[in-house]
Structure 1
Amino acid sequence: MKTKLVKVSDLKLGSVIANDIKANTQYPIIYKNTKITREHLPVLKAFQISQVTIISSPLGSNKIENEDDGLIPIEQENIIDSASIMPFERKYIDVVNKIKKEFINWESGSKVNITKVRTYILPLIDLVLENRDKIFTLNEFSTSEDYIYHHSVAISLICAVIAQKMGYSKGDILQIAIAGAVADCGMAKINKKIREKTGPLTEYEFKEIQEHPYYSLQMINSITILKQEMKIAVYQHHERLDGSGYPRGEKGSKISIFSHIIAVADVFHAMTCERIYQSKESPFKVLEMIRETEFGKFNIQVVQALMTCVTDLPLGSKVELSNGLEASIIFTNKTSPTRPVIKVVESNEIIDLSKYRNIYIERLILER
């Protein structure tokens, strides 16, 4: 294998790194055999890497081809504007309002119209599967007054992303997403005063809340286009591996993998949102809490699938830190994805968040 040393300023997209590139971090900032993309450039610049060793004759599969040498010079790369005609937030709010109308109908005794729910949700599912980082901003749209409607839509979208990350087929992804959307439809049968109570629930009220998975199953049981395993997932989505969940206190292998997908999506969104009795919380901090303090309650594969969505965030992604400063992600810590290496916008200071536990990412800043 032939290699050559090149200046970063002469580096071309599609070049393959010959050796691990190391800096003052726990792991290499770019690994051997990595194909250079535009996302790697701010990393090299941030760590003041002026030269890198590349494979001089990369295989065709590692090239981004053009008419000259098969590699695209960095300065000639075309930037594609992928901004949608209608902002995601507006589409999301529109779907929440439609689900709210359906929920009010369920309160009045109407049957679940799964065709309507499916029609409302599908366009959003397609959007988040293409842009998985959207799931880290859903809590910003939710309000305490309309939380239950936001929650139904958000669970659906997060379920879709988790299922995609776990390698399920498009058909199963859509099935679990629809199941997630109606997982809490049974809450329509719970007294509104109990649902919206600001103080502690009485033992009777808590037991009534714990009945909602059963009510949900009753409401969807006759729907033929929803697979039986998805109906079971709806019924079991508050069960936990250690037997601490409800309604039956099932444990271990008695809880289906699809139940765990809805469970993780449910808890993740619930813990991040402003509610009547809690303030909004950082999605990144909540992920750490799920992995650390809730260990043993959820299927680890499902939790890991959600965690890897953080590692998928493009380098250069803008974030707001818990101390109020804005920064950009310049390197992802594979073993601690919620704590990447960041560069503070104001000072250009580089901070490895895995070494500073008192600072965390408060929120992801996306282009609207």
Structure 2
Amino acid sequence: MPSISVAEVKPGSKIIKDVNTPLGGLLFTKGKVILPRDIEILQAFLVQYVEIEGTQSENKAPEPSKTAAKATPVKAGATVDESLLAKNNSTLHDEYDKMLALVKQIYRSVAAAPLPILEIRSQLEALINELKDYHVLKFSPRVIHEEDYNYHNAVLSALTSYKIAQWCGYPQKDWMQAAFAGLLHDIGNAKVDASLLQKPSPLTGAELEEVRRHTTYGYQLLRNVTAINEGVRLAALQHHEKIDGSGYPLRLEGTQIHFYAKIVAVADIFHAMTLRKAYRKAQSPYLVLEQILAESFGKLDPVIVQTFIQKTTDLYNGTRIKLSDGRHGEIIFTDRSNPTRPMVQVDGKIVNLMVERDLHIKEIIA
């Protein structure tokens, strides 16, 4: 089949030959169906032509054999947004999408049918098997629709809770159960009026009380489910409890809160604030980490918070980032006592984020 210009590619088209970047890296594999975001990726990597199923001869481009040797190099000074690679056809993303679809199914049926716990476990294990490619600050789902916020929060919280359990040195038998706790912590929202969960204006007292009941609803839904332990059920009930007793629904304190719930609380807050909602923009992960750190003084478990922040910000020097003022730069030094505010090199100059408090890292690029 002939190739067509990327400018002519339409969403829904099917690629019939692997697509490589001008420098030879694999971008998309044969058989992929193009999504709107994928066109942006092709353009960002300066790909000129792709081979699409059903292309007509009048769109024919120069023969691949003639163009391959003259592949367009990346232009000097061009900015290639490598964060778009998070949208590509990786196995992690494949398993993530399957888990997301299963969570949607669960939310829609949980009030009337038993949880398909064996299917959930099987897919969760398949997802965890790809954990080596998951970085909390870097990973982004392929597509996020605002109305799917609860489902994305569930899957991301599962991945992050598993990592936190590992990082904190809990026994290996707790890692998968912590992932279950993250996945199912908000299952009670399935019984809450969706209009309240999506409401853009402040909730009334009665509405807020109903939304908060998702914790008890969740425990009730999980109470008779086998193959999960009591900690998973308690995480659904307790993930909004606070160390100082100011949380809900039972105003528990410190050691009264199950450690799965303490893990999930950190994961949930991070993803709840960094995911876009219908009524609120996504927030910078670095600013969210700073807010979580502030919450560790009396609200969240301080050991879990410190471990989470240290591990997620343990990025190598040279990591490319985007600042809140739009400039791009590279991390050159991180003071482990201030991990969310490293020194960054921007246009040949050093920006010390510990000093320039009006700036923050908005995004990890690569």
TM value normalised by structure 2: 0.71
In the other structure, the counterpart of 1:99 is: 103
Q: Contact between 2:266 and 2:300, CA under 8 Å: does it hold in 1?
A: yes
CA deviation vs aligned residue, 1:110-168 (integer Å, no higher than 9, x gap): 2222222222222332333x245244434885432110110110111111111111012
Q: Tell me the amino acid that sits aligned with residue 182 of structure 2.
A: G
Matches within 5 A, 1:25-44: none
In the other structure, the counterpart of 2:125 is: 122
In the other structure, the counterpart of 2:354 is: 354
Cα separation, partners in 2 of 1:140 and 1:237, compared to 1, 3 Å? farther
Q: 2:193 aligns with which of 191, 200, 222?
A: 191
Q: Tell me the amino acid that sits aligned with residue 350 of structure 2.
A: I
DSSP-derived class of the 1:133 partner: coil
In the other structure, the counterpart of 1:144 is: 146
In the other structure, the counterpart of 2:322 is: 320
Cα separation, partners in 2 of 1:124 and 1:318, compared to 1, 3 Å? farther
Q: Tell me the amino acid that sits aligned with residue 119 of structure 1.
A: S
Unaligned runs of 5+ in 1: 1-82
Cα separation, partners in 2 of 1:343 and 1:126, compared to 1, 3 Å? farther
In the other structure, the counterpart of 1:153 is: 155
Cα deviation, residue 87, structure 1: 5.2
Unaligned runs of 5+ in 2: 1-85
Distance 2:202 2:312 in 1: 34
Matches within 5 A, 1:156-305: 156-292=158-294, 295-305=297-307
Distance 1:221 1:339 in 2: 43
DSSP-derived class of the 1:357 partner: coil
Cα deviation, residue 231, structure 1: 1.9
Higher normalized contact order (CA 8 Å, seq sep 6+, divided by chain length): 1
Tell me the percent identity.
34
Q: Which ranges of 4 or more aligned residues in structure 1 deviate by more than 6 Å?
A: none
Q: Contact between 2:168 and 2:307, CA under 8 Å: does it hold in 1?
A: yes
In the other structure, the counterpart of 2:68 is: none
Distance 2:324 2:180 in 1: 34
Q: Contact between 1:152 and 1:184, CA under 8 Å: does it hold in 2?
A: yes
Cα deviation, residue 276, structure 1: 2.1
Give the RMSD, CA atoms, in angstroms. Answer: 2.2
Q: Contact between 1:103 and 1:188, CA under 8 Å: does it hold in 2?
A: yes
Distance 2:333 2:157 in 1: 29
